Chains A and B, each alone.
Chain A
Amino acid sequence: AQSVAQPEDQVNVAEGNPLTVKCTYSVSGNPYLFWYVQYPNRGLQFLLKYITGDNLVKGSYGFEAEFNKSQTSFHLKKPSALVSDSALYFCAVSDIGFQKLVFGTGTRLLVSP
């Protein structure tokens, strides 16, 4: 069965510093991986996805993610954090042939001024 784990409930970082939000996955075949962001009382917004190809994926708002097959990880990164990046971040995975997305439990990112 597909699954995804976000090991940190919260990540704290100072504005201007680089940030990383971790995600590991488990699928039976090749994965399709996604990152979403959620602001308070709002729906999820799509940030980026990995389908195939380059292991470094670039997305919206300056975010990028690094796919590592040997470590089954898909960590979200940004070189310089902004206070406005403070939100709840979800990693999700789908397996080839499956229409369902499986979401992680979310990581709250808090960027301090």
Chain B
Amino acid sequence: DGGITQSPKYLFRKEGQNVTLSCEQNLNHDAMYWYRQDPGQGLRLIYYSQIVNDFQKGDIAEGYSVSREKKESFPLTVTSAQKNPTAFYLCASSTSGREHQPQHFGDGTRLSIL
């Protein structure tokens, strides 16, 4: 069954700690995306990647980092520089970075501060 798997479902971060959110897809999609969702603000784009070993900053990249070493994987690291990391994080993918392709989403990771 093809889809996007995000793990863990819940994550807690201590002060000064970096944490990494996993995103794996078996849809053979070229493009992958990370969004942050806060109540009442919709989704905001953090980073996106159209191809392996290449990625671009989205609208709110500060305090986050990504890598794209494999087509299937696009992990997101929330660094200690992100002062307000509490949010619901969603990973998505699409067949290409073309603007008319719908994006497919994972079920998210909820990050909270300890």
CB contact list, A41-87 vs B, under 8 A: 41-46, 49, 51
Q: In this assembly, does B90 line the interface, its C-beta being within 8 Å of a C-beta of chain A?
A: yes
CB contact list, A64-113 vs B, under 8 A: 90, 94-101, 103-106
- Shortest CB-to-CB span from B96 to chain A, Å, is 9
In angstroms, Cα B81 to Cα A76, docked, is: 39
CB contact list, B57-114 vs A, under 8 A: 58, 90, 92, 97-100, 102-108, 110
Residues on B with C-beta less than 8 A from A96 are: 99
Q: In this assembly, does A34 line the interface, its C-beta being within 8 Å of a C-beta of chain B?
A: yes
A43 touches B97 (CB 8 A): no
A43 touches B107 (CB 8 A): yes
Closest to B9 in A: A41
Residues on B with C-beta less than 8 A from A43 are: 4, 6, 90, 92, 105-108
- Shortest CB-to-CB span from B21 to chain A, Å, is 13
Closest to A50 in B: B100
- Residue pairs across A and B with CB atoms within 8 Å: the count is 58
Closest to A90 in B: B42
Q: In this assembly, does B34 line the interface, its C-beta being within 8 Å of a C-beta of chain A?
A: no
Q: What are 25 inter-chain pairs, A to B, with CB distance below 8 A?
A: A9-B40, A32-B99, A32-B100, A36-B105, A41-B107, A41-B108, A42-B107, A43-B90, A43-B92, A43-B107, A44-B103, A44-B105, A46-B104, A49-B100, A51-B100, A90-B42, A90-B43, A98-B99, A99-B98, A100-B58, A101-B45, A101-B103, A103-B44, A104-B42, A106-B42
Residues of A within 8 A of B (CB): 9, 32, 34, 36, 41-46, 49, 51, 90, 94-101, 103-106
Residues of B within 8 A of A (CB): 4, 6, 31, 40-45, 48, 50, 58, 90, 92, 97-100, 102-108, 110
Told that A43-B106, A44-B90, A51-B100 touch, could you supply 9 new A-B pairs with CB distance under 8 A?
A43-B108, A44-B103, A44-B105, A94-B99, A96-B99, A99-B48, A99-B97, A105-B40, A105-B41
